Amino acid sequence: MIKINGKAAPEAKGNTLGQYLDENGYNKTRIAVEVNGSILSKKEYDSYIINDEDIIEIVNFVGGG
């Protein structure tokens, strides 16, 4: 079962991570994406194909400090 931010996301299977991020309105300059425990490089977003069993966390940063 694919999990994205803690929720089951079977519909994401076979999509690239880049497609998923676009379709779900993420601004790619403000996020870090962890796939199965490690941060995926931005360069790999468009080539990474979401697999069954992937656990993905998308951290969306907001401004302020």
Partner 1 sequence: MTNNEFINALIMRHGSDIYHKLINSKVAVAGLGGLGSNVALALARAGIGELFIVDFDRVDITNLNRQQYDISDIGKAKTVALANKIRAVNPIIKIKRKKIKITESNAVELFKDHSIVCECFDKAESKAMLINTLLTSPEDFTVVSASGMAGFDTGNTIQSRKINDRLYICGDMVSGIENGMGLMAPRVGICAMHQANTVLRLLLCDLN
List of residues contacting partner 1 (CB under 8 A): 29-32, 34, 37-42, 57, 59-65
**CB closer to partner 1, 7 vs 10:** 7
Q: Are 52 and 13 in contact (CB under 8 A)?
A: yes
Least separation in angstroms between residue 6's CB and partner 1 is: 12
| 41/17 Cα distance (integer angstroms) | 11
Question: Count of residues for the chain?
Answer: 65
Tokens of 34: 């962890």
Least separation in angstroms between residue 12's CB and partner 1 is: 19
Least separation in angstroms between residue 56's CB and partner 1 is: 12
